[in-house]
Chain A
Amino acid sequence: MKSGIRFGSLFLISFFLLFLCSGCSSDDVGVVNVLNWSSYIPDSVIRDFEQETGIQVNYSTYSSNEECLAKVSSAKEGTYDLIFPSDYMIEIMIYRNMLEKFDYSKLQNEGNIDSFYLNQSFDPGNQYSLPFVMASTVIAVNREHISDEIRSYSDLLNDKYRNNITLIDDQRIIIGMALLANGYDMNTVDESELNVAKEWLLQLKPNIKAFDSDSPKNFLITEEADIAVLWNAEAALAYQEMGNIEFIYPEEGTALSMDNFAIPKGARHREEAYQFIDYILREDVMKEIIESYPYKNVNWKTQKLLDSNYLDNIASNIPSYIIEQGIYVENIGESVKLYDKLWAEIK
């Protein structure tokens, strides 16, 4: 018994010390903490980067811009080294002084980005961010089960689609969709207009099977739902998997989102973050990413490498007229509380 206790406590102490040591070594160079959207960069790209550079990637994900903001601001400063917020969130983060200015001398491949996508209003001169990919919402319909013509958001209100539609789980996008359906500005802060949007969504609710942002394509693929309002790449992936999916850019308008590389203030592994960005900007790497998650590519060198599977699919290679007409989510300041409450009312 005596030796047992001694042995036990020795074991415990060594275990504890081991743990402490492993804790302190985690701060070594050669690590980069990436916080990204789920389903955005394939595992293989991360593994290849690790192999090539010897840098370990700690990869975690979020499913909305708000979640990204919350994660970065509630964690200790410097926890994350690289994030991928969208347009309006970049603006908020710049305003809140949460981002580091880009040091372009650390990058070699930034010239690969098509200048059409640079210098946007949320970050003039790209001081704090660089475009990664562009996304748009789209309606995808399983044509094996649904044959009606669907051209607008309002067509989704049809009783026939009871419990058969999935939506992105993002309050700004979905409330925005309801606003567009009623002919209002997607970024309105007018309470009566928002009220109309709420009523519209409540009317749609019996048709909603689920809200999901992370992988709405699965609902189509497993035939859990036949209609989905989702991000374009998800729709394209569902098409690759099952064919017979029609993509509809509704006549009321489409929400656009430009997702960007950004380095949070105080990031401790900045060098590694730049290396990671540079790696992803390489045309062959970007090609692999785009082929796995076919969002709208913004890399002109990669664009030349992509085949017709990508280029001819309107869900992946968003047509330019859609981009011209598309609407971005805007920073609406304090009024976001109205959206929060409305969202709780719908769910």
Chain B
Amino acid sequence: MKKIMENLYLVLVFLFLFLPIAVLILFSFNTSKLNIVFQGFTFHWYFDLFQNRTLLEALFHTLIVAGVSTVISVIVGTISAYGLHKYSFKGKNLINGLLYIPVVIPEIVLGIALLSVYTLLELELGLFTLILAHICFCIPFVIISVRSVLEGMDPHIEEVASDLGASKFQIFTKIVIPMLMPGILSGAQLALTLSLDDVVISYFTAGPGANTLPLQVYSMIKTGITPDVNALITIMLGIVFIILTISTVVQLRRFKKESSV
């Protein structure tokens, strides 16, 4: 009985989580333009999508911003996590404290703060400012996630390597980075997710010619959305789902191996 209740509850919560997405996917195959009643099956909107330059451009910008800001955040974040772990210096506590700010303050404050500074410095709003903003809120997450691995690392390994004549550079690239890989990867995944999900900060820091998917959908929701957006969402979700399935299967395999040892 208890099992049934528990499973029922799980099903209900998952229904809640997947309902809005399922509806969007369903209506991407709907012949009617209005997203109200399902009238018939069609692939029409998928063809439309490839004609819709504005939408494709927005998607392209979203991917560029997410990709570039993830890569830069991971590089800077990894170097910084290592530096903060390894060296002590004046004001380290202050730096450490300030790093949490993007994690905890409401996004809107960060958004307007960055916008104000961009205006102050007369930076032209566009893809560059958008990427800078995304880097800003992604780096701390990478640092935190890399640091959690660093803390469990044996500091003697580096000493031994150094005694054996390895250069600092060799130690960092050949020993430290491979050991930090799990932290770096989960930090990268987090940064990517955050960047793809963000609406609020992008809203303030994008400019003309840097329209991203969420901003495009925002203005379309207001002026009337067409089902080719649904088609786009369906394709994106399909890709995400495939990637997630693969990574879960891989993880489960490893998990099985570890637990059988």
Contact = CB atoms under 8 A, between A and B. Distances in A.
Consensus secondary structure, chain A interface:
mixed
Interface string B21-56: 000000000000010100000000000000001100
Interface in B215-242: 219, 222-224
A215 B209 contact: no
A16 B222 contact: no
A169 to B, nearest CB: 10
Given A19-B64, A214-B222, A5 B173 contact: yes
Contacts of A79: 124-125, 207-208
Given A19-B68, A76-B123, A26 B209 contact: yes
Given A76-B125, A212-B222, A43 B54 contact: yes
Contacts of A21: none
Nearest to B209: A58
Contact of B207 (A2, A19, A75, A215): A75
B203 to A, nearest CB: 12
Contacts of A222: 34, 36
Contact of B208 (A15, A63, A80, A215): A80
A59 B55 CA distance: 12
Nearest to A63: B222
A188 B68 CA distance: 51
Contacts of A59: 54
B36 A214 contact: no
A277 interface: no
A159 B75 CA distance: 61
Contacts of B36: 222
**Residue of A1, A75, A80 ringed by the most chain B CB atoms within 10 A:** A75
B110 interface: no
A35 interface: yes
Interface residues of B, number: 31
Contact of A214 (B67, B174, B223): B223
B115 A74 contact: yes
A61 to B, nearest CB: 6
A74 B53 CA distance: 28
Interface in A11-67: 12, 15-16, 19, 23, 26, 31, 33-35, 38-39, 43, 47, 58-61, 63
B223 A74 contact: no
Contacts of B177: 5
A15 B219 contact: no
A241 to B, nearest CB: 10
Interface of B: 34, 36, 53-54, 64, 67-68, 71-72, 75, 115, 119, 122-128, 173-174, 177-178, 207-209, 211, 219, 222-224
B122 A76 contact: yes
Given A5-B173, A15-B71, A74-B115, A58 B219 contact: no
Contact of A26 (B64, B126, B178, B219): B126
A220 to B, nearest CB: 13
A218 interface: yes
B71 A38 contact: no
Given A5-B173, A23-B127, A76-B124, A60 B223 contact: no
Contacts of B209: 26, 31, 33, 58
Contacts of B178: 1
Contacts of B174: 1-2
Nearest to A39: B223
A35 to B, nearest CB: 7
Contacts of A16: 68, 71-72
A214 B207 contact: no
B186 to A, nearest CB: 17
Given A12-B71, A75-B124, A76-B119, 4 more contacts: A15-B67, A61-B219, A75-B208, A79-B207
B125 A75 contact: yes
Nearest to B64: A19
A75 B209 CA distance: 13
A68 to B, nearest CB: 13
20 contacts: A2-B174, A5-B173, A16-B72, A19-B64, A19-B68, A23-B127, A39-B223, A43-B54, A47-B53, A59-B54, A60-B211, A75-B119, A75-B124, A76-B122, A76-B124, A77-B122, A79-B208, A80-B208, A215-B222, A218-B224
Contact of B224 (A5, A77, A215): A215
